[in-house]
Amino acid sequence: MKDLKHLIYFENLLQDAQNELVTKAVDEGMYALGYNCYYVPETLLNLPGCFSSRLRAPRCVSTDVAGYYMTNRTCPYARSILERAIEGGYNYLNALFGSESCATMERMEEHFALLKPVKNDKFFTTIIDPPMKGDENNLTYYKVQLRTKVLEPLHEHYGIDISEDALRAAIDDHNEISRVITAIGEHRKADNPNITGYEFHVMQLVSQVCPHTMILPYLQETLEELETREPEPKFPFRARVALVGSEIDDPEFTKLIETCGAMVVADRYCYGSFPSREQIEIRDGESAFDAICRHYLHWNQCPRFMDGMKIDQRHHEVERLIREFKADGVIFENMKFCEFWSYEKVLSNHIFTNELHIPCCTIEKEYALGAVGQLRTRFQAFIESLEIKQIQGGK
């Protein structure tokens, strides 16, 4: 396929947390608001005058200092983020909005307050207590948390407008970038897509780490480019897979799977587009804030949800993606030391393999892609099994 015009530019934007667009926005006086987890609605961090910055630690090769603080027996994603903070990689941030989504994430975010690694006088950290069920009581609690730990501190510290109009503007911003990303992602549904999983992953990531207003024109242009982009004459992969799991913010991981022969057609993982790029709808009589909270609670598919409805939802959602994106199988990933995904992986493997009869592969990985030999072997074996299945007519 012909190279996408902005792909290299996008790739370069992912080389540092403080990329050129982030620097430009900060220089223009916008407030940079960091977050790690989907539980903190990106939309609330894109109020007028602010921009969201989902934290990554690109090119992080060692977590020695973070390991001293959190031991080397904790999630490498959390450690890498802390390491990058201590290195000074997030000095552009004005605030970090954390979430006690898991114990390690909470401890890592706590260190932003305890060690004060972000060299910014007005920098502050808050950590929400996120809900664990999808019912009314949990929605109410979620609203209280987001109002008292995101909106009100933003207003108090930086005088950010948190009015209904401002929130509606933030929703418009969210819906627009989501519309573009979703439209780009739809191209993966084709039998012979004119986009690779890697390329999409790169674009989804830049939409999360760059100021929306600045990255949007590039994404729109790429969408237009895709309308006419010719796919390879023949589908160049041996299989199609959905990738499900925890924090995957390195497109090289997607590339690894694709170089093994399977196109990643659906991305249901933290930092992926499912969930994150759904349209927020404001219902009749509903405030913009309520709509945001309802939306994020509904779409959140974190394995920490405990009620049967949400557990079923997350499995049905993967099943839906597999169907709609015509995936031959699913890969469940968990970050090493992640309690939630470790359990979810076991349960999902059972559900997909034994109940839904969808080929499933489960792997565990480090945050930084170092030695990938074992992973490559696993993927190759899985893809081979999918191929054999295809040859045997799905039996």
CA distance 285 to 283: 6
CA distance 330 to 165: 41
What is each CA distance from 58 to 17, 19, 269, 369, in whole angstroms?
A: 7, 11, 18, 10
CB of 117 to another protein, least distance (A): 13
Task: Choose, by CB under 8 A, the member of 275, 334, 352, 379 that binds another protein.
Answer: 334
364: contact with another protein by CB under 8 A: yes
118: contact with another protein by CB under 8 A: no
The 232-271 site mask, x for binding another protein (CB under 8 A), equals ----------------------------------------
133: contact with another protein by CB under 8 A: yes
Cα pseudo-dihedral 261, 265, 271, 273, rounded to 10: 170
Give the residue among 339, 363, 318 at the shortest CA–CA distance from 73. 339
CB of 168 to another protein, least distance (A): 26
CB 45 within 8 A of CB 35: yes
Task: Choose, by CB under 8 A, the member of 26, 32, 55, 108 that binds another protein.
Answer: 108
200: contact with another protein by CB under 8 A: no
168: contact with another protein by CB under 8 A: no
- Contacts of residue 207, defined as CB under 8 A and 6 or more positions apart, other chains included, come to 177, 180, 181, 215, 219, 277
CB 144 within 8 A of CB 167: no
140: contact with another protein by CB under 8 A: yes
CA distance 200 to 188: 9
CB of 365 to another protein, least distance (A): 12
Task: Choose, by CB under 8 A, the member of 42, 106, 247, 267 that binds another protein.
Answer: 106
CB of 184 to another protein, least distance (A): 34
- Mapped onto helix, strand or coil, the DSSP state of residue 310 is helix
User: DSSP string covering 196-252, please?
Assistant: -HHHHHHHHHHHHHS-HHHHHHHHHHHHHHHHH----SS---SEEEEEEES----HH
Give the residue among 217, 142, 173 at the shortest CA–CA distance from 51. 173
- Contacts of residue 278, defined as CB under 8 A and 6 or more positions apart, other chains included, come to 178, 182, 295, 299
350: contact with another protein by CB under 8 A: yes
127: contact with another protein by CB under 8 A: yes
CA 138 to chain centre: 23
Q: How many residues bind another protein (CB under 8 A)?
A: 54
The 291-330 site mask, x for binding another protein (CB under 8 A), equals ------------xx-xxx--x-------------------
62: contact with another protein by CB under 8 A: no
CB of 378 to another protein, least distance (A): 13
Task: Choose, by CB under 8 A, the member of 340, 358, 376, 380 that binds another protein.
Answer: 340
Q: Find the angle CA(207)-CA(190)-CA(171) to the nearest 5 degrees.
A: 30
- Region near another protein per CB under 8 A, out of 8-16, 101-109, 322-330, 372-380: 101-109
Cα pseudo-dihedral 169, 126, 245, 136, rounded to 10: -70
CB of 35 to another protein, least distance (A): 17
Residues that bind another protein (CB under 8 A): 68-71, 73-75, 78, 100, 102-104, 106-108, 110-111, 113-114, 127, 129, 131-133, 135, 137-138, 140-141, 144-145, 148, 303-304, 306-308, 311, 334, 336-337, 339-340, 342-347, 349-350, 354, 362, 364
